[in-house]
Amino acid sequence: MRKKIVAGNWKMNLTLEEGLSLSKAIAEFAKTNPLDKLNGSPKVIMFTPFIHLVSVTESTKGINQLETGAQNCYIEEKGAFTGEISAKMIQSAGVKNVLVGHSERRAYFGETNEVLAKKVEIALANNINPMYCCGEVLDERNAGNHFNVVKEQLEKGLFWLSEEEFAKVVIAYEPVWAIGTGVTASPEQAQEMHAYIRSLVKDKYNENIAENTTILYGGSCNAKNASELFANPDVDGGLIGGASLKAEDFGAIIQAY
Protein backbone atom coordinates (compact mmCIF):
# COMPACT_ATOMS: atom_id res chain seq x y z
CA MET A 1 0.00 0.00 0.00
CA ARG A 2 1.44 3.38 -1.02
CA LYS A 3 2.32 5.92 1.63
CA LYS A 4 0.32 9.09 2.20
CA ILE A 5 2.55 12.17 2.60
CA VAL A 6 2.01 15.81 3.50
CA ALA A 7 5.18 17.78 2.77
CA GLY A 8 5.77 21.44 3.57
CA ASN A 9 8.15 23.42 1.35
CA TRP A 10 9.20 26.50 3.29
CA LYS A 11 11.07 27.87 0.24
CA MET A 12 13.23 30.95 1.09
CA ASN A 13 11.21 31.98 4.12
CA LEU A 14 11.64 32.27 7.89
CA THR A 15 14.62 33.33 9.96
CA LEU A 16 16.32 30.71 12.07
CA GLU A 17 14.29 31.69 15.12
CA GLU A 18 11.02 31.71 13.15
CA GLY A 19 11.77 28.34 11.57
CA LEU A 20 12.55 26.73 14.91
CA SER A 21 9.33 28.11 16.36
CA LEU A 22 7.36 26.65 13.46
CA SER A 23 9.07 23.26 13.64
CA LYS A 24 8.43 23.04 17.39
CA ALA A 25 4.75 23.79 16.81
CA ILE A 26 4.53 21.08 14.14
CA ALA A 27 6.38 18.63 16.36
CA GLU A 28 3.96 19.39 19.18
CA PHE A 29 1.04 18.82 16.80
CA ALA A 30 2.48 15.43 15.86
CA LYS A 31 2.85 14.48 19.51
CA THR A 32 -0.70 15.53 20.34
CA ASN A 33 -2.09 13.96 17.16
CA PRO A 34 0.06 10.85 16.52
CA LEU A 35 0.46 10.69 12.76
CA ASP A 36 0.07 6.92 12.58
CA LYS A 37 -3.32 7.25 14.30
CA LEU A 38 -4.75 9.85 11.90
CA ASN A 39 -6.82 8.93 8.84
CA GLY A 40 -4.42 7.83 6.12
CA SER A 41 -1.57 7.54 8.62
CA PRO A 42 0.37 10.27 6.77
CA LYS A 43 4.09 10.85 6.88
CA VAL A 44 4.93 14.54 7.30
CA ILE A 45 8.06 16.11 5.85
CA MET A 46 9.35 19.64 6.42
CA PHE A 47 11.54 20.86 3.55
CA THR A 48 13.42 23.69 5.23
CA PRO A 49 16.13 26.14 4.15
CA PHE A 50 19.61 24.78 4.78
CA ILE A 51 20.22 26.89 7.90
CA HIS A 52 17.34 25.15 9.66
CA LEU A 53 18.07 21.56 8.75
CA VAL A 54 20.23 20.42 11.66
CA SER A 55 18.11 22.03 14.38
CA VAL A 56 14.77 21.04 12.88
CA THR A 57 15.97 17.47 12.31
CA GLU A 58 16.93 17.29 15.98
CA SER A 59 13.45 18.47 16.94
CA THR A 60 11.82 15.61 15.00
CA LYS A 61 13.77 12.80 16.66
CA GLY A 62 11.57 10.24 18.32
CA ILE A 63 8.40 11.51 16.65
CA ASN A 64 6.93 8.78 14.48
CA GLN A 65 6.54 9.67 10.78
CA LEU A 66 7.80 13.26 11.12
CA GLU A 67 10.85 13.93 8.96
CA THR A 68 12.86 16.74 7.38
CA GLY A 69 14.07 17.35 3.86
CA ALA A 70 16.46 19.62 1.99
CA GLN A 71 15.15 21.83 -0.79
CA ASN A 72 18.05 21.09 -3.15
CA CYS A 73 21.40 19.37 -3.50
CA TYR A 74 24.32 19.61 -5.90
CA ILE A 75 25.27 17.08 -8.57
CA GLU A 76 28.81 16.49 -7.26
CA GLU A 77 29.93 14.65 -4.14
CA LYS A 78 32.32 17.41 -3.00
CA GLY A 79 34.74 20.00 -4.34
CA ALA A 80 35.24 23.67 -5.20
CA PHE A 81 31.58 24.57 -5.69
CA THR A 82 31.12 27.62 -3.51
CA GLY A 83 27.61 28.05 -2.19
CA GLU A 84 26.44 24.53 -3.00
CA ILE A 85 25.42 21.76 -0.60
CA SER A 86 26.20 18.11 -1.32
CA ALA A 87 23.97 15.11 -0.75
CA LYS A 88 26.61 13.71 1.59
CA MET A 89 26.41 16.84 3.73
CA ILE A 90 22.62 16.57 3.85
CA GLN A 91 22.80 12.90 4.79
CA SER A 92 25.35 13.65 7.54
CA ALA A 93 22.80 15.96 9.18
CA GLY A 94 20.39 13.04 9.55
CA VAL A 95 18.13 14.29 6.76
CA LYS A 96 16.27 11.62 4.78
CA ASN A 97 14.67 13.55 1.91
CA VAL A 98 15.50 16.07 -0.80
CA LEU A 99 13.41 18.00 -3.33
CA VAL A 100 14.58 17.56 -6.91
CA GLY A 101 13.28 19.53 -9.88
CA HIS A 102 10.95 21.97 -8.15
CA SER A 103 9.43 24.27 -10.77
CA GLU A 104 11.28 27.24 -9.31
CA ARG A 105 14.62 25.44 -9.73
CA ARG A 106 13.72 24.66 -13.33
CA ALA A 107 12.48 28.19 -14.12
CA TYR A 108 14.89 30.44 -12.18
CA PHE A 109 18.05 28.35 -12.22
CA GLY A 110 17.73 26.61 -15.56
CA GLU A 111 17.86 23.08 -14.21
CA THR A 112 17.24 20.60 -17.02
CA ASN A 113 15.88 17.08 -16.83
CA GLU A 114 19.42 15.82 -17.44
CA VAL A 115 20.79 17.78 -14.48
CA LEU A 116 17.92 16.59 -12.31
CA ALA A 117 18.67 12.97 -13.23
CA LYS A 118 22.17 13.50 -11.79
CA LYS A 119 20.69 14.93 -8.61
CA VAL A 120 18.40 11.92 -8.26
CA GLU A 121 21.38 9.63 -8.75
CA ILE A 122 23.60 11.30 -6.16
CA ALA A 123 20.76 11.55 -3.63
CA LEU A 124 20.07 7.82 -3.87
CA ALA A 125 23.79 7.07 -3.66
CA ASN A 126 23.77 8.84 -0.29
CA ASN A 127 20.65 7.10 1.02
CA ILE A 128 18.44 10.16 0.59
CA ASN A 129 14.94 9.79 -0.86
CA PRO A 130 14.28 12.16 -3.77
CA MET A 131 10.92 13.88 -4.13
CA TYR A 132 10.91 14.51 -7.87
CA CYS A 133 8.78 17.40 -9.10
CA CYS A 134 7.18 17.58 -12.53
CA GLY A 135 4.56 19.76 -14.15
CA GLU A 136 3.60 22.11 -16.95
CA VAL A 137 3.37 25.89 -17.32
CA LEU A 138 0.17 27.62 -18.42
CA ASP A 139 1.14 27.93 -22.11
CA GLU A 140 1.87 24.20 -22.27
CA ARG A 141 -1.48 23.33 -20.74
CA ASN A 142 -3.37 25.74 -22.96
CA ALA A 143 -1.66 24.18 -25.98
CA GLY A 144 -2.78 20.72 -24.86
CA ASN A 145 0.84 19.67 -24.39
CA HIS A 146 0.76 19.10 -20.63
CA PHE A 147 0.82 15.30 -20.81
CA ASN A 148 3.83 15.29 -23.15
CA VAL A 149 5.73 17.73 -20.94
CA VAL A 150 5.24 15.63 -17.82
CA LYS A 151 6.05 12.43 -19.70
CA GLU A 152 9.38 13.85 -20.89
CA GLN A 153 10.26 15.11 -17.41
CA LEU A 154 9.67 11.65 -15.96
CA GLU A 155 11.38 9.74 -18.74
CA LYS A 156 14.56 11.83 -18.63
CA GLY A 157 14.66 12.45 -14.91
CA LEU A 158 13.55 9.13 -13.44
CA PHE A 159 12.81 6.31 -15.84
CA TRP A 160 16.43 5.25 -16.17
CA LEU A 161 16.30 4.02 -12.54
CA SER A 162 16.12 0.35 -11.63
CA GLU A 163 12.95 -0.92 -9.97
CA GLU A 164 14.69 -0.98 -6.61
CA GLU A 165 15.91 2.60 -6.99
CA PHE A 166 12.61 3.91 -8.30
CA ALA A 167 10.78 2.48 -5.29
CA LYS A 168 12.58 5.08 -3.12
CA VAL A 169 11.27 8.04 -5.15
CA VAL A 170 8.18 10.15 -4.45
CA ILE A 171 6.70 12.11 -7.36
CA ALA A 172 5.13 15.54 -6.88
CA TYR A 173 2.97 16.91 -9.68
CA GLU A 174 3.06 20.70 -9.83
CA PRO A 175 0.78 22.50 -12.24
CA VAL A 176 3.10 25.51 -12.42
CA TRP A 177 0.21 27.77 -13.42
CA ALA A 178 -1.38 27.08 -10.03
CA ILE A 179 1.63 27.85 -7.80
CA GLY A 180 1.37 31.11 -5.90
CA THR A 181 -1.42 32.33 -8.18
CA GLY A 182 -4.36 31.44 -5.98
CA VAL A 183 -5.59 29.22 -8.80
CA THR A 184 -5.81 25.54 -8.00
CA ALA A 185 -6.17 22.68 -10.41
CA SER A 186 -9.65 21.25 -10.04
CA PRO A 187 -9.88 17.88 -8.31
CA GLU A 188 -10.71 16.42 -11.73
CA GLN A 189 -7.62 17.96 -13.32
CA ALA A 190 -5.42 16.75 -10.47
CA GLN A 191 -6.81 13.22 -10.65
CA GLU A 192 -6.45 13.11 -14.43
CA MET A 193 -2.75 13.96 -14.33
CA HIS A 194 -1.99 11.77 -11.33
CA ALA A 195 -3.68 8.81 -13.02
CA TYR A 196 -1.69 9.53 -16.17
CA ILE A 197 1.58 9.61 -14.22
CA ARG A 198 0.70 6.30 -12.58
CA SER A 199 -0.03 4.80 -16.00
CA LEU A 200 3.42 5.89 -17.21
CA VAL A 201 5.03 4.22 -14.19
CA LYS A 202 3.05 1.06 -14.91
CA ASP A 203 4.15 1.05 -18.56
CA LYS A 204 7.80 1.60 -17.62
CA TYR A 205 7.97 -0.78 -14.65
CA ASN A 206 4.90 -2.79 -13.69
CA GLU A 207 1.49 -2.50 -12.05
CA ASN A 208 2.74 -3.34 -8.57
CA ILE A 209 5.34 -0.57 -8.61
CA ALA A 210 2.80 1.88 -10.04
CA GLU A 211 0.28 1.08 -7.32
CA ASN A 212 2.93 1.60 -4.64
CA THR A 213 4.30 4.89 -6.00
CA THR A 214 3.32 7.92 -3.93
CA ILE A 215 2.24 10.86 -6.12
CA LEU A 216 1.61 14.21 -4.43
CA TYR A 217 -0.23 17.28 -5.65
CA GLY A 218 1.59 20.60 -5.37
CA GLY A 219 -0.22 23.72 -6.51
CA SER A 220 -1.91 26.13 -4.07
CA CYS A 221 -3.15 23.31 -1.86
CA ASN A 222 -4.47 24.69 1.42
CA ALA A 223 -6.62 23.84 4.41
CA LYS A 224 -9.82 24.66 2.50
CA ASN A 225 -9.28 22.49 -0.58
CA ALA A 226 -7.00 19.70 0.72
CA SER A 227 -9.80 17.27 1.60
CA GLU A 228 -11.34 17.48 -1.85
CA LEU A 229 -7.97 17.04 -3.58
CA PHE A 230 -6.85 14.19 -1.31
CA ALA A 231 -10.12 12.33 -1.90
CA ASN A 232 -8.99 11.47 -5.43
CA PRO A 233 -7.85 7.85 -5.72
CA ASP A 234 -4.49 8.72 -7.31
CA VAL A 235 -3.66 11.77 -5.16
CA ASP A 236 -1.59 10.57 -2.21
CA GLY A 237 -1.09 13.86 -0.42
CA GLY A 238 0.38 17.26 -1.07
CA LEU A 239 3.54 19.30 -1.45
CA ILE A 240 2.45 22.44 0.36
CA GLY A 241 3.98 25.89 -0.10
CA GLY A 242 2.64 28.97 1.65
CA ALA A 243 0.14 27.07 3.80
CA SER A 244 3.02 25.12 5.40
CA LEU A 245 4.38 28.30 7.02
CA LYS A 246 1.58 28.43 9.60
CA ALA A 247 1.36 25.50 11.99
CA GLU A 248 -2.43 25.73 12.33
CA ASP A 249 -2.99 25.65 8.56
CA PHE A 250 -0.44 22.90 8.02
CA GLY A 251 -1.98 20.84 10.80
CA ALA A 252 -5.42 21.17 9.19
CA ILE A 253 -3.98 19.87 5.89
CA ILE A 254 -2.36 16.92 7.66
CA GLN A 255 -5.79 16.03 9.04
CA ALA A 256 -7.51 16.41 5.67
CA TYR A 257 -7.62 12.71 4.71
CATH number of the structural domain spanning residue 77: 3.20.20.70
E strand or H helix at 16, and its extent?
helix 16-32
Whole-number pLDDT of residue 181? 76
> Of residues 67, 111, 136, 174, which has the active-site annotation?
174
The conformational region for residue 144 under phi > 0 = left, psi -120 to 50 = alpha, else beta, is left
Whole-number pLDDT of residue 6? 98
**CB-CB contact of 133 with 179 (8 Å):** no
Whole-number pLDDT of residue 179? 80
Whole-number pLDDT of residue 178? 84
pTM for this one?
Answer: 0.97
Distance (Å, whole) CA 47 – CA 102: 12
Identify the sign of the CA torsion 174, 175, 181, 187.
negative
Nearest-5° Cα angle at 45, 43 to 47: 165
> Of residues 52, 102, 146, 194, which has the active-site annotation?
102
Whether 102 sits among the annotated catalytic residues: the reply is yes
- Buried/exposed code over 132-156 (b: 16+ C-beta within 10 A; e: otherwise): bbbbbbeebbeeeebbebbeebbee
Q: Which residues of the chain, if any, have pLDDT below 50? A: none
Structural domain that includes position 158? 5-254
Whole-number pLDDT of residue 108? 96
* Tally of structural domains, the chain: 1
